[in-house]
Chains A and B, each alone.
Chain A
Amino acid sequence: MLKFMRKKTVSVWKKDSRTLIAHGVLDDDIYGIELDVSVNIEDLRISAIEGKWNRWTTPECPRAIPELQRAVGFLIAEPDFSQKAHKVIGRKACRHFANLLLECSHSLREAALLGEWEDRKAAGEEARLGDITAEKAAPPPPPQSPPSAPRAAPVESAACPDEERGIDDKSRVLSADSPGLVIDLHVHTSPASPCSSVPVAEVIEEAKRIGLDGICLTDHNYVWTAPEVAALREEHGFLVLRGNEITTDQGDMLVFGLEEDIKGIIRLEELRKKVLQAGAFVIVAHPFRGFLTFGVGQLGLTPEKAMERSLFQHVDAVEVMNGKVTAKENQFAAEVASGLDLPVTGGSDAHEVSEVGVYATRFYETIRDEKDLIRALRGGNYVPLAYRKEKGF
């Protein structure tokens, strides 16, 4: 039987020589929305937008309507337009309006191409529509690396060999009553992670302020170089370590000890091979994020069933305290990890200053550099904790 249907229609017409108008309608089992979007033909800039709810869910959904005006001025042919629509209209107004706005905008772009084709033909040019679409295809989005100072070429790991430090293995293990070393293993910074709003220096200073012993920079598919991180450590007098949150076909993975800059979506199995080759360590980040939320939580997924997921065969540990998921989702991850007998970690997944240290991992070993960190992670002598809460922040 049919469970759900969403219909969307868009009609585009030319109001005058300068303006195209799209009228979009979204109608599904839950929502009914209409949108009128005007754009200047010359630069495809949104000059006016008007929305209307026909059916909605919460009593506050109508608050989305005035927020739609934020889209005025957006250039719909820009490569980052869809990202902007999600971020601005989806977040500030409503994601269903953002969805319909994208549908209208895409239709407007195609209508503009058709218009150009007609004009060229009328001018006696021999133009094929396919050529014009290829010509006008949006350029690929710019690389997401920060536009900051040129980055140093990767050099050898920041870890320093034990022999140089004259430390034997036994001295690493802290005594049972030691409070251990608390490190936030999952932190994002701006601009390395486009979704974060905090420069690295602010993250570090906040971590120091709340009394953490260290942090790991785990920006999305981003490799900090050893000299960069060494400089940060020196400048702030604080333990800053490197990780990388890599998106795989099976979700996000926190990887420590892998220098390779991986772009795009990698298969988890392939990442696993690289991790093993490099002697690195991989933790599955927030494995059930969003899975137990409103609606989808009714699926009846049990920890036993979730343990069968093949992804758990390719990771070394499970993040069971993550600051971006619900308590239930963290609890569920903990049950799965316990059933599989996998080590567990905590990390804030901070994207804002106030989130640093929400969760962290307490290690009962000395950690002075990345080599220590990987050794400690392998040793399994650590526990996740709700750091800010414990400290009363």
Chain B
Amino acid sequence: MANILTYSRNRCTCVEQVDENTLRATCTLQDTLTDAFVEILVGLPDLEIVDVRCEVKRTEQEPCKDPALSLAKVIGVRIGSGMLKIIKGLVAETTECKQLGFMVEECCHGVILSFTKDVLLVSSPRPTDQEEAREFYGKMVKENIRLYNRCAAFAPGSDLVRGVDPPK
């Protein structure tokens, strides 16, 4: 009995380019208790949420069972710094189904990561060349000092911030 799972979860977030001005991000969650789906459409270049759709197919949470549940309040929010607080606050005004708010956030993270991937693809240093990589990420943190001490890789003592002045 000990080796049988008591719970399992699968979450998949996808971002696709619909046309020149629109991205579509979806988050699908399937686990022992929940089956839910959220989709956002994002306008470019503003990264503004222009449409949202959600569906809860299976849940044990009462607030998530409301068939009229809508996340329309997040329309107009721009993806970027500070978005989590805004999305959380706006979703909380509509529903206590926190999972759906989290799924919107996952879609937004996916959008940001899709751009990160684009940049890494065109400008990434060769994975084998440590010095080149150090230089590349060192330049990145110098250009965006907010990254300093934002994670272990950019913490004081890391090679990537060698010679970088901490923000005043």
Contacts and interface: CB of A to CB of B under 8 A. Distances in A.
A95 B119 CA distance: 19
B151 interface: yes
Contacts of B158: 60, 63
Interface in A228-254: 247-252
Contacts of A130: 60-62
B14 A4 contact: yes
Contacts of A8: 9-12
A59 B154 CA distance: 11
A248 B76 CA distance: 11
B90 to A, nearest CB: 5
Nearest to B157: A63
Given A7-B12, A293-B144, A13 B4 contact: yes
Contacts of A59: 130, 133-134, 137, 159-160
Contact of B85 (A57, A64, A247, A295): A247
Given A298-B115, A299-B44, A12 B168 contact: no
B118 A358 contact: no
Interface residues of B, number: 74
Contacts of A99: 109
A303 B117 CA distance: 25
Given A58-B133, A249-B86, A296-B112, A20 B153 contact: no
Contacts of B114: 3-4
* Size category, A interface: 35 or more
Contacts of A63: 152-153, 155, 158
Contacts of B159: 59-60
A129 B137 CA distance: 49
Contact of A61 (B5, B76, B152): B152
A386 to B, nearest CB: 11
A111 B154 CA distance: 35
B120 interface: yes
Given A94-B152, A95-B151, A110-B7, A294 B113 contact: no
A13 B116 contact: no
B56 to A, nearest CB: 14
Given A59-B159, A265-B85, A301 B46 contact: yes
Contacts of A10: 7-9, 31
A299 B86 contact: no
A5 interface: yes
18 contacts: A4-B111, A5-B13, A8-B10, A9-B8, A14-B6, A59-B160, A67-B152, A111-B7, A114-B6, A133-B61, A247-B89, A250-B78, A264-B89, A289-B82, A293-B146, A296-B112, A296-B115, A326-B144
Interface of A: 1-16, 20, 28-30, 57-61, 63-64, 67, 90-95, 99, 103, 107-108, 110-111, 114-115, 129-130, 133-134, 137, 247-252, 264-265, 289-291, 293-296, 298-301, 305-306, 309, 324-326, 328, 354-355, 358, 388
